[in-house]
Amino acid sequence: MAVPRAEGTAGVNESPKRFRARVVRLQRLSSSGYELTFERNGLEFEAGRLVTIHGREPTEDRSYTIASGEEDEHVQILFRHIATGKLTPELINLRPGDFVEVSGPFGEFVVRDVAKPLVFVATGTGVAPCRAYIRTHRDLDLTLIHGTRIAEDLFYRGEFQTCRYFPCVSRENGTGFHGRVTEFMKDFAIDPEARFHLCGANEMIFDMQVLLRRRGVDESRIFTEAYYYRLYS
């Protein structure tokens, strides 16, 4: 789910293409989190857009926001292995030299105005487009609030040290804020110029929209992309 573009300079309408891409690497980032790297094959995209990975049947197709930068050599996606899922049990068995069928780019979850401060609130793998932002827009005034249940799922935390980074871990102590991102944001100082990007669990997005509106943030400054539909605690 993405809010239509409302302002700013972003919005290159790349034409979607379908192609076979050679797998470069599959890296396990946590007990259930994986990063898949594959060749671009000429794919041009804007940071924040997504690709569809095709399964053996159309019902197995799944879309993932690109986690790499616009000028990176390869395309990377971040995904969580779901044992009962249709596609990820196949993805975790990929090896370098294998091929995946890819379509893209799609989506509207891009940076609308690189001159404005951006506050990115993510849960789980919803942090992927934020990584694409920082690898593409080096001077972006970015704040990231990333919520996970356990610390090992704070994907790419080393790279996010270049921005204002606030990890929120709900089921473990000792790493950043102990609790959900919505609890952290209750006392977060709201910049009147900031744009807010919300990505991850739909429940978080709904709760955060209510919280931001109550704190005076206009709907036109809130952009969303729902990754999954389950409780995020």
Task: Please report whether residue 3 resides in a domain.
Answer: no
Say whether pLDDT at 15 is over 90.
no
Residue 86 belongs to a domain with what CATH number?
A: 2.40.30.10
Give the integer Cα–Cα distance in Å for 7 and 47. 16
Together in a domain, 52 and 138? no
Question: So what's the pLDDT on residue 230?
Answer: 54
Together in a domain, 163 and 65? no
pLDDT in tens, 49-66: 999 999 999 999 999 999
Last residue of a domain, one of 106, 128, 156: 106
The tokens of 157 are what?
Answer: 């935390």
Task: Please report whether residue 130 resides in a domain.
Answer: yes
Together in a domain, 71 and 123? no
Together in a domain, 220 and 144? yes
Together in a domain, 172 and 204? yes
Together in a domain, 95 and 126? no
Together in a domain, 128 and 200? yes
pLDDT in tens, 133-180: 999 999 999 999 999 999 999 999 999 999 999 999 999 998 999 999
Together in a domain, 148 and 189? yes
Last residue of a domain, one of 48, 73, 106: 106
Domain holding 195, by residue range, is 118-228
pLDDT in tens, 40-52: 999 999 999 999 9
Residue 168 belongs to a domain with what CATH number?
A: 3.40.50.80
Together in a domain, 122 and 221? yes
Give the N- to C-terminal CA distance of the chain in Å, as an integer: 21
- The model's confidence at residue 229, banded by pLDDT at 50, 70 and 90, is low
64 sits in the region (left: phi over 0; alpha: psi -120 to 50; else beta) called: beta
Last residue of a domain, one of 85, 106, 127: 106
Task: Please report whether residue 42 resides in a domain.
Answer: yes
- Sheet harboring 142-148: ordered strands across? 177-178, 164-169, 142-148, 118-123, 195-201, 222-228
Say whether pLDDT at 10 is over 60.
no
For the chain, what is the domain count?
A: 2
In this structure, are residues 77 and 156 in contact, taking their beta carbons and an 8 Å threshold?
no
Together in a domain, 84 and 170? no
In this structure, are residues 61 and 85 in contact, taking their beta carbons and an 8 Å threshold?
no
Task: Please report whether residue 7 resides in a domain.
Answer: no
Together in a domain, 101 and 152? no
Residues 18-43, mean pLDDT to the nearest whole number: 97
Task: Please report whether residue 194 resides in a domain.
Answer: yes
